[in-house]
């Protein structure tokens, strides 16, 4: 795709268009997605991934995957691998451009030495608490560190000894010498390097005992990679002067442009890595890929198609304004995709037995049903019909007004893809619970409307002898508060956890064609919703389906 694109405009695309016209970066577009491997990616990252890779794609540019791995205490290889898998699954390709900030540690060290030589950085002996005190507050300027005016020679010596491991953690810091009175606290002599012994970095092992800070590392990594547009979220806008300061002060050739956009806030979910980590670590969910999680791996296991997530990221747009996106937009994207692509099936979630009293006991018909009612090319499936069936308990009432378009005692209903039946008798146990419905079928109604009467209701069913038992997991939103992580009334967001977010059905019966369901495949269980064969729980012939999303249900609103 070139610049002549149909994608909706946004302010970043406008900047790129203007840059391309003025020749600012030589007409190049080179972005990067820079995750820190300290957790799994979530829907907010998906927005950033789609933006960065999408921009590169639309303007014939490139997008790198770069792990921002400067804090070995929180990072590990598991996260690196999970992130790569998620980005790839989302449909993006970094080709040979997989990088780590740690690839540049040596270069970064050299730049730091240059800063010291230029008199732009110094080694500071203040401890953490003192550093904070010297920094001042938002409304009061800070004051200069007593170590600020060490000689260049002393700084050079100290810094090389920091690297050599002569000093203990926290005893020294390399700091930029900028302005302790800056109204922007980020400019008050920010830390460049801290000392960290006793940690093994997932990429560099124990080679280093000093690690560079984000602000220092990020801009230079961008510059080294020849990034043109360094897109990040709004909270980094205050860091932009620092981003530019490092690049200007070091007089590097490539000076990328940092552009900030607002992060996604999805209602009834959480997009904070720290809080998602808490859910996992405290066992409040079944791991990072729990289908209720807003993680990419959770959504994948839930059955959300990658294309639907990409479409969602497209629809919500990119701006700098605070937002609160309704879950309905995501749901609409999921349904739109799955309605078009998912094979149809009949599944009885909560079975009650139906006996067709006028149907021969030993007979079975192999009825043919389309895999998709609007798309013949998807083919057909065989649905066995016999004397004993299951229908859903919710699809029967002994008495109901004619708004209830399902089975009612002494009334008729259409069995989807099969015959019209009438309920003649209701059998109950001693507790009054319905155990069987005795019905009669009209043999003339297979693929034809009954003579002289209209049957408007259609319900789904499964042949008792041919259906297969399965576990069905009904998922709902994980939280029952639209903004669980910004409710100032409570001190712990977990109080907003929805206790009904998972309802497990163990007695469901699926039609025979589903026994071979491949993990990850999403089906439409007609009249119920979209369900995905679980990738972790379908084992040894056991069938487990996750509800991806329900069908739109206008009846539920009325009833």
Partner RNA sequence: UGGGGUAUCGCCAAGCGGUAAGGCACAAGGUUUUGAUCCUUGCAUCCCCAGGUUCGAAUCCUGGUACCCCAGCCA
Q: Is 380 in the site for RNA (CB under 7 A)?
A: no
Q: Taking Cα atoms as reference points, which of 126, 207, 208, 201 lies closest to residue 171?
A: 126
Q: Which of 165, 183, 379, 520 binds RNA (CB under 7 A)?
A: 183
Nearer to RNA, 93 or 169 (CB): 169
Least CB distance to RNA at residue 536 (A): 27
- Number of helices (H) and strands (E), helices first, in the chain? 13, 27
Which of 36, 286, 336, 436 is catalytic? The answer is 36
Binding flag, residue 6, RNA (CB under 7 A): no
Contacting RNA within 205-234 (CB under 7 A): 211, 213-215, 217-218, 234
Q: HEC states along 428-489?
A: ECCCCCEEEEEEEEEHHHCCCCCCCCCCCCEECEEECCCCEEEEEEEECCCECCCCCCCCCC
Would residue 273 show up in a list of annotated catalytic residues for this protein? yes
8 binds RNA (CB under 7 A): yes
SS3 163: helix
Give, for 273, the enclosing helix (H) or strand (E): helix 273-281
Question: Rounded distance, CA 396 to CA 306, Å?
Answer: 37
- Segment 319-378, which members bind RNA (CB under 7 A)? 319-326, 328-329, 331-332, 335-336, 339, 344, 372-374
Total residues binding RNA (CB under 7 A): 95
Residue 102 near residue 201, CB atoms below 8 Å: yes
Q: Tell me how far apart the alpha carbons of residues 213 and 70 are, in angstroms, rounded to a whole number.
A: 7
Under the binding rule (CB under 7 A), the answer on residue 135 touching RNA is: yes
Mark whether 117 is an active-site residue: no
Active-site residue (options: 32, 135, 163, 273): 273
User: Is 315 a residue that touches RNA (CB under 7 A)?
Assistant: yes
Longest alpha-carbon distance in the chain = 102
CB 336 within 8 A of CB 307: no
129 by Cβ neighbours in 10 Å (0-12 / 13-18 / 19+) ranks as: exposed
Q: Which residue of 152, 200, 427, 448 would you call a contact of RNA, by CB under 7 A?
A: 448
Out of 95, 205, 399, 403, point to the residue binding RNA (CB under 7 A): 403
CB of 373: closest distance to RNA in angstroms? 4
Q: Contact at 8 Å (CB) between 37 and 66?
A: no
| Closer CB to RNA, 20 or 286, in the complex | 20
> Out of 60, 106, 117, 169, which residue is the one contacting RNA (CB under 7 A)?
169
The residue (of 152 and 555) whose beta carbon lies closer to RNA is 555
Which residues in the 43-72 window bind RNA by CB under 7 A?
Answer: 68, 70-71
Q: Please report whether residue 4 would count as binding RNA according to CB under 7 A.
A: no
Q: In the numeric block, which tokens belong to residue 414?
A: 């259409």
Among residues 106 and 169, whose Cβ is nearest to RNA? 169
Interaction mask 506-545, RNA, x per CB under 7 A: ------------------x-xx------------------
| Closest to 439 (Cα-Cα) out of 420, 425, 458 | 425
408 binds RNA (CB under 7 A): no
Q: Which of 349-357, 445-453, 505-513, 515-523 is the region at the interface with RNA (rule: CB under 7 A)?
A: 445-453
Structure tokens at 126: 């203040």
Q: Which stretch binds RNA (CB under 7 A): 83-91, 296-304, 310-318, 435-443?
A: 310-318
Q: How far apart are CA 7 and CA 58, in angstroms?
A: 9
Cα separation, 81 vs 548, whole angstroms = 25
Residues of this chain, 83-122, that bind RNA according to CB under 7 A: none
Q: Is 399 an annotated catalytic residue?
A: no
Active site residues: 36, 263, 273
């Amino acid at each position: 795709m070139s610049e002549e694109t149909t994608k909706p405009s946004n302010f970043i695309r406008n900047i790129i268009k203007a840059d391309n016209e003025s020749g600012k970066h030589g007409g190049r577009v080179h972005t990067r997605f820079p995750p820190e491997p300290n957790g799994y990616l979530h829907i907010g990252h998906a927005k950033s991934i789609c933006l960065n890779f999408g921009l590169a794609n639309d303007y014939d540019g490139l997008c790198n995957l770069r792990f921002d791995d400067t804090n070995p205490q929180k990072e590990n290889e598991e996260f690196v691998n999970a992130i790569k898998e998620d980005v790839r699954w989302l449909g993006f390709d970094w080709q040979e451009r997989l990088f780590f900030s740690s690839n540049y540690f040596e270069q970064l060290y050299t730049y730091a030495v240059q800063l010291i030589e230029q008199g732009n950085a110094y080694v500071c002996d203040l401890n953490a608490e003192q550093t904070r005190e010297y920094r001042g507050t938002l409304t009061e300027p800070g004051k200069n560190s007593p170590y600020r005016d060490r000689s260049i020679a002393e700084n050079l010596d100290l810094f090389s000894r920091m690297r050599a491991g002569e000093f203990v953690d926290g005893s020294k810091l390399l700091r930029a010498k900028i302005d302790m009175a800056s109204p922007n606290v980020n400019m008050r002599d920010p830390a460049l390097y801290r000392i960290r012994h006793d940690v093994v970095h997932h990429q560099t092992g124990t080679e280093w005992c000093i690690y560079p800070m984000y602000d220092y590392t990020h801009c230079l990594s961008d510059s080294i990679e020849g990034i043109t547009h360094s897109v990040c979220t709004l909270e980094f806008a205050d860091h932009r002067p620092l981003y530019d300061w490092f690049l200007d002060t070091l007089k590097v050739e490539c000076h990328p442009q940092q552009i900030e956009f607002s992060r996604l806030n999805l209602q009834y979910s959480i997009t904070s890595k720290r809080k998602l980590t808490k859910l996992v670590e405290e066992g409040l969910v079944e791991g990072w890929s729990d289908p209720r999680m807003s993680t990419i791996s959770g959504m994948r296991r839930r059955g959300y198609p990658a294309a639907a997530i990409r479409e969602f990221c497209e629809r919500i747009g990119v701006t700098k304004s605070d937002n609160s996106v309704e879950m309905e937009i995501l749901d609409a994207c999921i349904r739109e995709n799955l309605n078009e692509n998912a094979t149809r099936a009949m599944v009885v979630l909560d079975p009650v037995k139906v006996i067709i009293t006028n149907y021969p006991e030993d007979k079975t018909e192999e009825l043919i049903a389309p895999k998709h009612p609007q798309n013949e090319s998807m083919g057909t499936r065989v649905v066995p019909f016999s004397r004993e069936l299951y229908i859903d308990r919710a699809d029967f009432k002994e008495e109901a007004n004619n708004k209830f378009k399902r089975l009612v005692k002494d009334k008729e209903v259409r069995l989807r893809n099969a015959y019209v039946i009438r309920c003649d008798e209701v059998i109950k146990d001693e507790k009054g619970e319905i155990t069987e419905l005795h019905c009669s079928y009209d043999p003339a109604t297979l693929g034809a409307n009954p003579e002289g009467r209209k049957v408007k209701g259609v319900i789904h069913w499964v042949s008792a002898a041919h259906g297969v038992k399965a576990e069905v997991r009904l998922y709902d939103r994980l939280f029952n508060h639209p903004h669980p992580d910004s409710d100032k009334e409570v001190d712990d967001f977990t109080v907003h956890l929805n206790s009904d977010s998972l309802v497990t059905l163990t007695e469901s019966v699926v039609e025979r064609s589903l026994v071979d369901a491949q993990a990850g495949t999403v089906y439409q269980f007609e009249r119920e919703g979209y369900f995905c064969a679980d990738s972790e729980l379908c084992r040894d012939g056991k069938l487990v389906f996750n509800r991806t999303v329900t069908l739109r249900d206008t009846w539920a609103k009325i009833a």
